[in-house]
Amino acid sequence: MIHQRDCSLIIQSDLSILLDERKPGANEARELLILVAEAEKRTGRMHTYRISPMSLWNGLSTGIAWPEIHEALLSHARYGIPAQAEASLRTWADRLGKLTLSAVNGRLLLSGDEEMIEELRRRPGLSSWFTGSLSASEWELDPNCRGLFKQELTRLGYPVIDRAGYHEGQTLDVRLKERTGFGQPFAPRAYQQAAVNRFLEENSMHGGSGVVVLPCGTGKTIVGLAALARLSAETLILTSSVISARQWKDELLDKTTLAEHEVGLYAGSGKEVRPVTIATYQLLTRRRQKDGEFTHMKLFWDRDWGLILYDEVHMLPAPVFRMTASIQATRRLGLTATLIREDGCAEDVYSLIGPKLFDLQWKQAESESYISEVACTEIRVGLHPLCEEEYAAASPRAQLRIAAENPSKLAVVKQLLQKHRGKPTLIIGQYLKQLGETAEALQAPLLTGNTLHSERMALYERFRSGEIGILVVSKVANIAVDLPDAAVAIQLSGSFGSRQEEAQRIGRLLRPKKGGNHAWFYSLVTNHTKEALFAAKRQLFMLEQGYSYEQLNAAEQQEQQDRQPGSRVPLTEASQI
């Protein structure tokens, strides 16, 4: 048993929690915090988390009981749980399950704790939705407020269990195949099946809709296909890009009994509405004028959908949020690798799609060889002398870009390419000028948002086949790009402190590799600049998942290179590689 003073958690009254990773039991404590808290920052070996009502409810929604969470926190708490913090946790845990929505004869009813309902009924903004009383503990609501009511209650700290049910939608004869179109045996993995079972549970706390979180490369699409097949209903699938939409169609035709004429692409130049229709968020939110109507939103009503699948659900744009609030009678399943929103709208995802149902931790997936083992390294690079004066005189925002586009990074890129010669490599960045110069210096193909779709697909295929070993890509390759053999990623620059982007870029490397399940991620950061501050924030999600970043400066990277036989590349000569 760990002595109390050696416990790894310091829980404070405001429910911020310090995790000391030097103490025994830190890994077990981190796994607990991943379930019930959110990472905020890291200082040295100390990580700061915070428990919020939503983070606690998500933990409880996955099936863990409050006494179990309480006991686990106590077992890791160096100084116990402060009385104020414990009171807040008990209040939040006690509220979950106290309010329930149900539907009786077409009427929407709210039932539960009398005092809680009375408090809510008197609140401005909510009172107009209460239309009549059946008893002190049961009230009738405006049936059109179902989504907005849940959204507002979540913001106020009152979760509601939605058991008002769903219409079945138009039925569809569809099953999963036992063999793919290439003749390979096919069946969902155990964790994929567990996620689907959780989604379809009867009389559960989540009411039949919610979010499944799986690491990149572990088959979120298969979860969607299996849910579709189990429900056997016409389905609308919303995705992040045309490429992703095409990948969904390929998977549907390869792994289900659906025929070509039953799957439609509502993306790009095609506007096919069929029993299973795949659309992009970008197209749905397109309008002719800035203040005009979203003309493609009618897709939500074009057929009697029994299921709506939200791929990369963390990317939901505001207009789709609003539409989702009005379709609460349709089952909804969100899929993502990283349910992180820097705009603070994760609560809206949970209230309108549903709570987190299933979360496979990245390190667990790695331990079972479902994904590659990724070594993460941050390399600090000195600012180029020609940029120092410009940087000193620039605004804070301009300083970040100057640091991100630091020309000194190119020499380190060339060192890393030599170190991993022969490994399929992605060089990823934010700024087109920097990417163009890098591609030209390396004589490597460049892929950006301006690259024609046909050319993109050709480049991806050449990379997959091994014809080209280096691909320079912009943020268009952050998600929904299937490059399973990519073993090395070098990040030149990123979108400020985006944790989600960092995880998605590392996700490009996670597909299991043939002949050695290893991959390498390098983040090049200009030392003593604004970029270093944002880099620390970007890494938070991966640190929370149990990964660590080795930090080197450019000289140390060169020393490591020198120690590898046959691969000495002096820094002064790196530009000649």
504-552 per-position pLDDT tens digit: 999 989 988 877 789 999 999 999 999 999 998 899 888 888 888 999 9
CA–CA separation, 296 vs 277, rounded Å? 13
Per-residue pLDDT averaged across 84-107, rounded? 93
Say if residue 158 is in the same domain as residue 196. no
- Among the three residues 360, 378, 407, which one is the final residue of a domain in this structure? 360
* Distance spanning both ends of the chain, measured CA to CA: 55
Alpha-carbon distance of 67 to 306, in angstroms, equals 37
The reported pLDDT for the residue numbered 361 is 87
Host H or E run for residue 324: helix 318-325
Amino acid identity of 533? L
Residues 105 and 242 in one domain: no
**Is pLDDT above 80 for 249?**
yes
Q: Which domain holds residue 21?
A: 4-95
Question: Considering the domain boundaries, does residue 425 fall inside one?
Answer: yes
pLDDT in tens, 307-347: 999 999 988 888 898 899 999 999 999 999 887 777 767 78
Are 396 and 469 contained in the same domain? yes
State phi, psi for 285 to the nearest 5 degrees. -100, 10
Q: What is the mean pLDDT of residues 93-115?
A: 93
Query: What confidence category does residue 349 fall into, taking pLDDT thresholds of 50, 70 and 90?
Result: confident
Is the pLDDT at 428 greater than 50? The verdict is yes
Tokens of 464: 């997959």
Helix and strand tally (H, E) in the chain? 22, 24
Q: Are 409 and 484 in a shared domain? A: yes
Give the pLDDT confidence score for residue 204 in this predicted structure.
Answer: 61
Element (H or E) spanning 163, and its range? strand 161-163
- Give the pLDDT confidence score for residue 512 in this predicted structure: 87
570 and 505 co-located in one domain: yes
Kindly state whether residues 311 and 416 are assigned to the same domain: no
Is the residue at 234 inside a domain?
yes
In terms of Cα–Cα distance, which of 202, 175, 173, 201 is closest to 187?
Answer: 175
Average pLDDT of the chain, as a whole number: 89
For residue 461, the SS3 value is helix
Give dist(CA 129, CA 101) in Å, integer: 13
Q: Are residues 261 and 285 in the same domain?
A: yes
- Hey, what amino acid is at 140? E
The residue written with tokens 């590799």 in the block is 513
Domain harbouring 412, CATH code: 3.40.50.300
Task: Please give the C-alpha separations between residue 385 and each of 401, 438, 532, in angstroms, as whole numbers.
Answer: 16, 19, 18
- Identify whether the C-beta of residue 512 lies closer than 8 Å to the C-beta of residue 366: no
Given this model, what pLDDT does residue 372 score?
Answer: 94
Mind listing the pLDDT tens digit for each residue in 368-420?
999 999 999 999 999 999 999 999 999 999 999 999 999 999 999 999 999 99
Token digits for 511?
């597909």
Whole-Å CA distances, 144 to 305, 337, 575: 18, 32, 64
DSSP-assigned letters across all residues of 339-406 = ---TTSTHHHHHHHT--EEEE--HHHHHHTTSS-EEEEEEEEEPPPGGGHHHHHHS-HHHHHHHHHT-
Is 35 inside any structural domain?
A: yes
Task: State yes or no: pLDDT of 481 exceeds 90.
Answer: no
Q: Is 16 part of any domain?
A: yes
- The answer as to whether 79 is a domain residue is yes
Residue 49 lies in a domain: yes
Which pLDDT belongs to residue 207?
Answer: 65
Measured distance CA(569)–CA(558) in Å, rounded = 8
CA distance 163 to 572: 67
In this predicted structure, what is the pLDDT of residue 286?
87
Query: Residue 478 — φ and ψ, nearest 5°?
Result: -65, -35
Q: What is the pLDDT of residues 267-279, one digit of tens each?
A: 877 789 999 999 9
* 477 and 566 both lie in a single domain: yes
285 & 424 share domain: no
Q: Which pLDDT value is given to residue 574?
A: 30
153 assigned to some structural domain: yes
What residues form DSSP beta bridges with 389?
none
Q: How far apart are CA 491 and CA 498, in angstroms?
A: 13
Average pLDDT (353-357) is: 88
Quick check: is 177 in a domain?
A: no
Structural domains of the chain, count: 4
Q: Residue 122: give its domain's CATH number.
A: 3.30.70
Q: 63, exposed or middle or buried, with CB in 10 Å at 0-12, 13-18, 19+?
A: middle
154 with 294, same domain? no
Q: What is the enclosing helix (H) or strand (E) of 437?
A: helix 432-442
At residue 304, the pLDDT reads 95
pLDDT of residue 257 exceeding 70: yes
Dump pLDDT digits (tens) for 32-76: 998 899 888 877 788 899 999 988 988 888 778 999 999 999 999
DSSP 314: G
The packing angle between helices 453-465 and 242-255, to 10°, is 60
Same domain assignment for residues 83 and 109: no
Q: Are residues 556 and 488 in the same domain?
A: yes
Region 135-150 average pLDDT: 94
Q: Taking the model in full, what pTM does it have?
A: 0.87
At position 121, the amino acid (one-letter code) is: R
